Chains A and B, each alone.
Chain A
């Protein structure tokens, strides 16, 4: 489904991604962990081309998408993204947030989009919040609206950039539950998170990234309990504490 080959990214003199290779199968959930500043967010943004990679290839269903002739909008339409800070459109209601993409990008009929939007909000447990504005919702509710907003585009895969790290502890559970449900329904997902419970239960593989390189890759069991690399062990011991 998604393949990344020798991905390179510089910000000025900073070498952020130093040759990343990864592959995610259809319906698979890949969790990425790593210290802050290791390039996790940049990697996700390179996959849906919110950030343009300097080198390497990004493939979506076998098609290289980081070529000049491929429309960036077309790529992003198919790969949904959920942000750490939710980024809900503050001037729109929950329902309008969900339907804006379908109406403006997919040119869906507004009535149909609204029906579908309400169904999606119900799916993330917010059927009764359709007319609420983001500022009236809790963090957990906002993030679930953001997930519904991404789902409304019928994406082939979803990227989650630390979806729970801006949340108060009591709201983390509800967001992770929605994500686990999505995974169970067969959504292809790449998730940057430090939620070990989620990673162990939902992910098949975990990738540990440090300083722009993949240090280790393996099943949750291996990474958390018997990592091969010293750096992985040091990091895991910090977040397990």
Chain B
């Protein structure tokens, strides 16, 4: 009896969250449409102007999206792996291990990412043997440096996750005859990761938008290419009001990318929701 009531509550809880997500998405869509209508009607910008999109769309817009996704495919996996590994390693009692790692975290957290991008693109290639050099090596090094930058933030997220699992959990697992590795895998990790998911979604939302910084060293990402196009609108032969249309489109794409990633993490968060553990619900 109690369990059926519990699962009914859980189902309605899940449905409530899904409804909330849909509602939020709908609100965003209405907002975007209103924005476009205002541009069209009040300011007389033609958002779907065919000349604009035939010039901007195929090359700048689509290539830009592919470029941004390409850098994200490099940055997100590296940053999560580095962040997780560093966060875990910093729990060690070995000072020879934790001290250099805390220097790493402090360094990358304290540096403006734009300066990291510039330095990595200038100095990074010299760390790689000459025969591996390619034209975009500087940009790749900068992307790698951005991954390290985000990894520093993420390591603190994972470290906090690990530290919030009480010591007694490890003790209880070991008292059942589990090895330290088993205790970590089956008891500590699932709890630590569940607590890391919401702040991780936050950090990934920042990383996605930070890829635009690569544009200042000439990357062919969405921001960089759109910037080139809008320069032509400002200084060249294109129409000035195209600038607004272009940046609206770019912002929308970044929004969709961010929203998709955070929604995936929200789904994981809901999936591993533990009944009775919601400390505060409003």
Hey, which bits of chain A sit against chain B, CB under 8 A? 48, 50, 72-74, 76-78, 80-81, 83, 85, 87-91, 100-101, 104-105, 128-136, 146, 149-150, 153
State in angstroms the CA–CA spacing of A50 and B172 once bound together: 10
Contacting residues, chain B, for A50 (C-beta < 8 A)? 171, 174-175
Which listed residue (A91, A128, A129, A150) contacts B175, Cβ 8 A?
A: A150
- Asked if B42 CB lies within 8 Å of chain A CBs, one says no
Which of B68-76, B183-191, B207-215, B222-230 contacts the other chain? B183-191
Within 8 A of A (CB), among B165-199: 166, 168-169, 171-179, 182, 186-187, 190-191, 194
**Inter-subunit contact B274/A135 (CB<8 Å):** yes
Give the distance to chain A from B273, nearest Cβ to Cβ, in Å.
10
- Closest residue on chain A to residue B168 by CB atoms: A87
**Inter-subunit contact A133/B169 (CB<8 Å):** no
**Inter-subunit contact A87/B177 (CB<8 Å):** no
Given A76-B177, A77-B177, A104:B190 Cβ within 8 A: no
Give the distance to chain B from A147, nearest Cβ to Cβ, in Å.
12
Given A85-B168, A100-B186, A133:B276 Cβ within 8 A: yes
Give the distance to chain A from B93, nearest Cβ to Cβ, in Å.
14
- Closest residue on chain B to residue A101 by CB atoms: B176
Which listed residue (A72, A77, A135) contacts B176, Cβ 8 A?
A: A77
Contacting residues, chain B, for A130 (C-beta < 8 A)? 3
13 A-B pairs within 8 Å (CB atoms) are namely A48-B175, A50-B175, A72-B174, A73-B177, A89-B169, A89-B187, A91-B191, A100-B187, A104-B186, A128-B2, A133-B274, A135-B274, A149-B172
- Asked if B95 CB lies within 8 Å of chain A CBs, one says no
- Asked if B272 CB lies within 8 Å of chain A CBs, one says yes
Measured as residues with beta carbon below 8 angstroms from the partner, the interface class of chain B is 20 to 34
Which listed residue (A87, A104, A150) contacts B182, Cβ 8 A?
A: A104
- Closest residue on chain A to residue B176 by CB atoms: A101
**Inter-subunit contact B175/A90 (CB<8 Å):** no
Hey, which bits of chain B sit against chain A, CB under 8 A? 1-3, 6-7, 166, 168-169, 171-179, 182, 186-187, 190-191, 194, 272, 274-277
**Inter-subunit contact B179/A83 (CB<8 Å):** no
Contacting residues, chain B, for A136 (C-beta < 8 A)? 6, 275-276
Given A73-B179, A81-B175, A101-B177, A90:B277 Cβ within 8 A: yes
**Inter-subunit contact B277/A135 (CB<8 Å):** yes
State in angstroms the CA–CA spacing of A135 and B186 once bound together: 19
State in angstroms the CA–CA spacing of A72 and B177 once bound together: 8
**Inter-subunit contact A132/B274 (CB<8 Å):** no
Identify 19 new A-B residue pairs, CB closer than 8 A, beyond the known A85-B168, A90-B274, A135-B277. Answer: A50-B174, A73-B179, A74-B177, A80-B175, A81-B172, A83-B171, A87-B168, A87-B169, A87-B172, A89-B169, A89-B187, A100-B187, A105-B178, A128-B1, A130-B3, A133-B277, A146-B172, A149-B176, A150-B176
Contacting residues, chain B, for A100 (C-beta < 8 A)? 176, 186-187
- Closest residue on chain B to residue A77 by CB atoms: B177
Give the distance to chain B from A70, nearest Cβ to Cβ, in Å.
13
State in angstroms the CA–CA spacing of A88 and B277 once bound together: 13
- Closest residue on chain B to residue A136 by CB atoms: B276
- Closest residue on chain B to residue A97 by CB atoms: B172
- Closest residue on chain B to residue A100 by CB atoms: B186
- Closest residue on chain A to residue B191 by CB atoms: A91
Contacting residues, chain A, for B168 (C-beta < 8 A)? 83, 85, 87
Give the distance to chain A from B173, nearest Cβ to Cβ, in Å.
8
State in angstroms the CA–CA spacing of A81 and B194 once bound together: 27
